[in-house]
Structure 1
């Protein structure tokens, strides 16, 4: 611009990510003698005119103006080259290319104008090479870039008048005849374990032309060709495309992403199109696998007795038993978001070989402390004892020894842990006194150096009693006990509150001379227990069923059959979600194999959620003994054991919703 001149600059913005607000534009720290009145680009529009004025005393020479666009807390800067000339000088302006950097793949038009007088000649140069010398307007030239190697070139125009040479700003031309390529995808091609909440991303080998990246040129469809609503955005450097579904993806489904179409190709800045046949597929399953088959040791080492809880951050923790080839020990692992990592060393209280551990349990206290308990054989008669450890500073530290010990003809086993709001830890156990099974219970107060034995309610007609599950709410604990009732010659479930009070009558739903087996317990938000158990008819064990009931403050609700669609049902695991809906998982037979089934109760109706869980296919790969937790986001997480025909492994999945 000449001193004393005013010039209009056409500005445009690119809106991304659904942004549609108004934008204010102004010069930032304008040099002396250069001014511009701020302008606004209205909501929904993309252009404005910025009028720049150069005073008569502005210093001649080249400088860079910074233009700032602001909307609320957002801002973005762009640069404009400005050359100030004094009257009498020649001013060389670029007409084409108009932008400072141009990407090309073929011929491009070069054009300049000369103002302020007449030039004897104009030279257009690429770096030091003269492309053409023009002696009369129009000063235009068609540069065939197909004849030069790919790369970056700096072009300039020079007006010659006598001995004087007046030069333009440089323009950068990037010659690019190479098509862009996909360098990375998230999720990866053919990923079979994608969340319904996934945000999709693609990284390219070079920047893309933003105007070619739209919701029309980037398509997302589910199985059957159903189009999924989506938001498409491109990073500032143009190399990363983000595809955000407008709603959770359908599950289960196979998703297809197409990057560009024949009618709307995606191109790089030079116009080279991305390969249109680049189809990206992945699977959104009903259940997300948390890792693959889980073992503590390589090889066919059977895993047993898996129990899963959530730590104070909501991450799953598992405890199980597994042999190292000579002795069965206790193992604890934690999910870190990508893999299962061991917590400390394997747990074993006795150093001798053959002292197998069994029936572990794990507890996360209200203060976030992690406690593990298990029973371990001494290799002397039937003797077993219970051991309890706390995880501190990356290692397992012993808690006080229980005051009840086994002998050659007695044992203490099957620990069940819970914690009260006060921080006290309570442990229920199965004690065989040489002739009968009893329930024993203990309390470890915060900071106490020893366990206190608790009185456990019983009746004369109950024999062979086993605690199968415990839970707590506030200051109250609840224990589900499986007992043999001599009066009916069958096993049933009773629930003890604080070990001293039996809630209502025994739980037994079947009328076919059936007996109750494993029970699970959970507590609702009001502090009332809910119980699920399986019943086994004496006449046909394959017809075992899963029942559910809840405490109505003075009696139990009528038991509800949950497992109407499966046979050989066993090992229910019950959990209560923060939304007030209980979830129930169990092992049941659905032809052709034993699988893990999961139901959720809404109102009074139990509904299946997700597909039956089976990590391996075939009748010889049964799934057993599920353990259930509900994440902070309300999604159930299930751990179970499943064999491959040689040894069972642990698998963990979370509902994909």
Structure 2
């Protein structure tokens, strides 16, 4: 008791303090307070909405105001097929606008206007609504809406909710209504509980209901579908301060285009004295209502009116009064009757579009007024010539249609037509615009199978019709109907008979629209019950000497079904086409079809290990009709080197090889014991330039030696050689001839200071009309052609032979065979052995120091001696030029053996990687090297630049390659080695040792390049005096 008394004392002191402060403030006020004028604004959660047919969406509306306002909301410009409801109307704080689109709502963009009114002020706000076509065919259904969606209910009280049922087009039947999730002590009753339009929900609370906020669910069920909405319910404590509403009368009848007034009485209890805000829920379409006054403490007049859009019937209207947290309702039973004289109105769509030669249907509706039920006679007026119409009208439902038939002669354009309805003395009309469009708007297409489809049995067809729904679709062969269908999808099956022959069959589809028939484009399908066969194959089965560059190709008797491509490069076409090698089981290759799909081409991507036997196996390949080929496989031989067949069988010595611009080999050769001849390979074999086994020697009875060969600017061969006679005295002369295309033209002899001994000439052409010759000249005074030999260089300028400068070298011990090449500016370089015996035995390279076409100048040494050991003999030099860099290979005798070496000049003579011999079996002799450069590319901006190049733009892929003779223990063979890169990497042997008969000996190889592919000429036999000429090409891509 003491604690209670203490708390009460503190509360009294606090109240006294607050009251004192209030009295002081009141006394300080010298004027009455001013209140802001009533004003408000609206905020919307979205400025645009998307709404799909058959679905709903929501928009939240918020009220901003400095005063307590109640704002009446209306929505204008609502498109047909869309309904709207507010969760709170009038609006005091916020309301949710629910929009529902029926399945028949027209897709498009619409601008809706929200109107708000309060105490003489009016505000509007707009938002856009896009109605979208249903993504899936909508199912006719229904939806529910409630007003209000948020309400309060006092203990021991009741409240009403108006429930509206919105039916989609095509949905019929009654919807059963129920309430769920009700708080304990609250009951719900629908009147009626089954309806097709709406119902009034009465919520009743016992005095024991716990106050608080609850969500109740209103459900509707019909035709296996259930829809629900949520209503927010607030339970408040029972208070003695209260009021009730009463309508007088509680039911009334309202005519169309008339107004009625109903008195509303307010009965306060428990000292209630607040103003009550009044509004109306669940007004039917075309009915409006207003209170005067809308804010009252005792009484108000409800004015209710119906315009001519209102539908006759009985409706339950809810009158709602709200004061603070108190909310009371009253229900008015409103009967709307049509008190107008009997009449009718005609409604049609504003326009219809029909193509020339087709018909269209215009829906027709009649609104009955004042109980009109008589028969109406319809007619069509103002129709242009060629347009006729036929009416079909149901007098029970007062709905019908007008079928319009447009002749193909009616011009395109817009026409205004009138539908006239007459019944007794009444005559009403409606107009619409007929849009006549160009014919062929309807399209009939055979979409399956595609044109040129091939099958070996039954075929499935599918026809698509765009633009209109046909009465019938027929798939036909000429003069023969297959099957007809009057429903989509239009699918058909053709089962070929056993006696139907293979070949093409032409199908068309026909769509019937009344008497109008439209045909599709024809589709040709192929009946193919014949298995494909292989028409040709390359290489042939059992073929030998097959080039890697040749296509591997299989041609079939007809187009094949497309084969899948496998990701594994070793499984291309497998298991359909499989390419393998006896030494290379997993070949890397690609394949492709030709345009006609009847040929498969296979290409190797890498050079396999050769020689090898390659094989193809075919499995499970089918044609477009799914007919399988027979299992087939075959193989062929792929050698390392491909020999040019048909060579002469005469004894041959010392070949010199060049290739023309087409890669055709030309060989200068000593045949038999005497003759110098030049042979060229053709499509029919080897031919002699100048006639059969033509001897081009200057002196017919002389002995020819050491031929050399080059091509001039026109691509014709120039040959040089050494020619010896013994009568009346021993004499050696060197000559040069040029092939004119029909005969050999003598360019002259190569003569040094001594006319008696001029031997072992070499040559090079600059491709501009100049050909350079190098040779050695011996001393006739000594009487030995090998003693005191000197080296000379002359130039043939197209008209005469002229010596370049003085002698390159004079040696008492003799000089050896020369090799001459040009740098990139056309300056000649010569390689030769300056001393044959004695020491040092310098192997030298010299370059011409003259300029232009001058024959005066000096020969300049390129470095010192080239050979590995100056005391060793060096023979058979072969020179090549990479830009300005000379590269030379030669044979050097160390006293025990002959080996092959190669060096380049780079501020001195240097070996590649090392100065090790190139030969494989160093103890065995290696002789007669021939050096050439393979060229492929270009390579862009290499780093570092290859030797001899200073500008990246000059750079090609250039690799030195050397052919030489090496004895492997049983016989001498040609070995070809290529540098794996210009400056780095090992020397790689190309293929195996090259000789035709493994027991014979090979001699004197000559190497040339067709791009990057080496070609070698050599002679082969038991001995040098029994050897025969051979030419072979490296088998590469």
Common fold, TM-score beyond 0.5?
yes
Question: Is the contact between residue 652 and residue 1029 of structure 2 (CA under 8 Å) also seen in structure 1?
Answer: yes
Question: Is the contact between residue 294 and residue 649 of structure 1 (CA under 8 Å) also seen in structure 2?
Answer: no
1:278 aligns with 2:632: yes
Q: Which residue of 2 aligns with 1:99?
A: 450
Mapped to 2, the partners of 1:358 and 1:555 lie a distance apart of 31
1:629 aligns with 2:1008: yes
Mapped to 2, the partners of 1:522 and 1:366 lie a distance apart of 19
**1:558-616 CA-partner distances (Å, limit 9, x unpaired):** 95422242513111112345545432221001244321112234546652322333242
Mapped to 2, the partners of 1:202 and 1:457 lie a distance apart of 61
1:613 aligns with 2:912: no
Q: Which residue of 2 aligns with 1:562?
A: 918
Give the C-alpha shift of residue 521 in structure 1. Answer: 2.2
1:598 aligns with 2:952: no
Give the C-alpha shift of residue 253 in structure 1. Answer: 6.7
Q: TM-score, normalising length from structure 1?
A: 0.69
1:468 aligns with 2:818: yes
Matches of residues 102-251 of structure 1 in structure 2 within 5 Å? 102-108=453-459, 124-125=476-477, 130=480, 142-155=494-507, 170-193=522-545, 200-211=552-563, 215-216=572-573, 217-221=576-580, 227-228=586-587, 230-245=589-604, 247-251=605-609
1:534 aligns with 2:869: no
Mapped to 2, the partners of 1:185 and 1:415 lie a distance apart of 49
Mapped to 1, the partners of 2:703 and 2:577 lie a distance apart of 58
Give the C-alpha shift of residue 428 in structure 1. Answer: 2.0
Higher relative contact order at CA 8 Å, sep ≥6: structure 1 or structure 2? 1
Give the C-alpha shift of residue 179 in structure 1. Answer: 1.7
Mapped to 2, the partners of 1:524 and 1:92 lie a distance apart of 72
Give the C-alpha shift of residue 383 in structure 1. Answer: 3.5
After superposition, the Cα gap between the structure-2 partners of 1:146 and 1:385, relative to the gap in structure 1 and judged at 3 Å, is farther
Greater C-alpha Rg: 2
Question: Is the contact between residue 595 and residue 613 of structure 1 (CA under 8 Å) also seen in structure 2?
Answer: yes
Q: Which residue of 2 aligns with 1:292?
A: 644
Q: Which of 772, 786, 793 is residue 426 of structure 1 equivalent to?
A: 772
Give the C-alpha shift of residue 416 in structure 1. Answer: 0.8
Q: TM-score, normalising length from structure 2?
A: 0.46
Q: Which residue of 2 aligns with 1:330?
A: 677
**1:135-171 CA-partner distances (Å, limit 9, x unpaired):** 9999856523443333334456779999999866544
1:515 aligns with 2:873: yes
Give the C-alpha shift of residue 623 in structure 1. Answer: 1.8
Q: Which of 712, 719, 723 is residue 376 of structure 1 equivalent to?
A: 723
Question: Is the contact between residue 528 and residue 551 of structure 1 (CA under 8 Å) also seen in structure 2?
Answer: yes
Give the C-alpha shift of residue 389 in structure 1. Answer: 2.0
> For 1:464, what is the secondary structure of its paired residue?
coil
Q: Which residue of 2 aligns with 1:357?
A: 704
Give the C-alpha shift of residue 625 in structure 1. Answer: 1.0
Give the C-alpha shift of residue 272 in structure 1. Answer: 0.9
Mapped to 2, the partners of 1:302 and 1:532 lie a distance apart of 26
Question: Is the contact between residue 581 and residue 587 of structure 2 (CA under 8 Å) also seen in structure 1?
Answer: yes
Q: Which residue of 2 aligns with 1:544?
A: 898
After superposition, the Cα gap between the structure-2 partners of 1:425 and 1:347, relative to the gap in structure 1 and judged at 3 Å, is farther
Unmatched tracts of structure 2, length 5 or more:
1-352, 359-406, 409-438, 567-571, 849-857, 936-956
Aligned length: 552
CA RMSD after TM alignment: 4.6
Mapped to 2, the partners of 1:647 and 1:516 lie a distance apart of 25
